[in-house]
Amino acid sequence: ESLSLAKFAQKIGADAILCVSPYYNRPTQQGLFEHYKTIAQSVEIPVMLYDVPSRTGVSIEVPTALKLFREVPNIKAIKEAS
């Protein structure tokens, strides 16, 4: 669903998307990396990561965020709500 919503947001002219971590399965850091990378690579608009561990049960660790920023050009920001 995240992929289709990201593509829809781009299609209707959104300037960027805010993307939250999966909250049901509590992914590993590698799982978070793959989640955000897959969504970001499906669109051309900027992507902001949303780290809200009190709601998702998992936090994006600094090394994971840095790897995403280095490897996925349209990941541009992170909203930190921890």
Amino acid at 70: R
pTM metric for this prediction: 0.92
Asked if residue 72 lies in contact with residue 37, where contact means CB atoms within 8 angstroms, the answer is: yes
> Is residue 67 annotated as part of the catalytic site, yes or no?
no
22-67 pLDDT, tens digit each: 888 889 999 999 999 999 999 999 999 999 998 899 999 999 999 9
Q: Tell how strand 17-20 and strand 75-80 pair up.
A: unpaired
**Catalytic member of 7, 11, 23, 79:** 79
Q: Does 23 participate in catalysis according to the annotation?
A: no
Of 7, 50, 67, 76, which residue is the catalytic one? 50
Which residues neighbour 27 within 8 Å (Cβ) at sequence distance 6 or greater? Answer: 21, 35, 58
Query: What are the structural domain ranges in the chain?
Result: 2-80
| 2-26 residue pLDDT tens | 999 999 999 999 999 999 998 888 8
What pLDDT, on a 0 to 100 scale, did the predictor assign at position 25? 84
Beta strands in the chain (DSSP E): 17-20, 47-51, 75-80
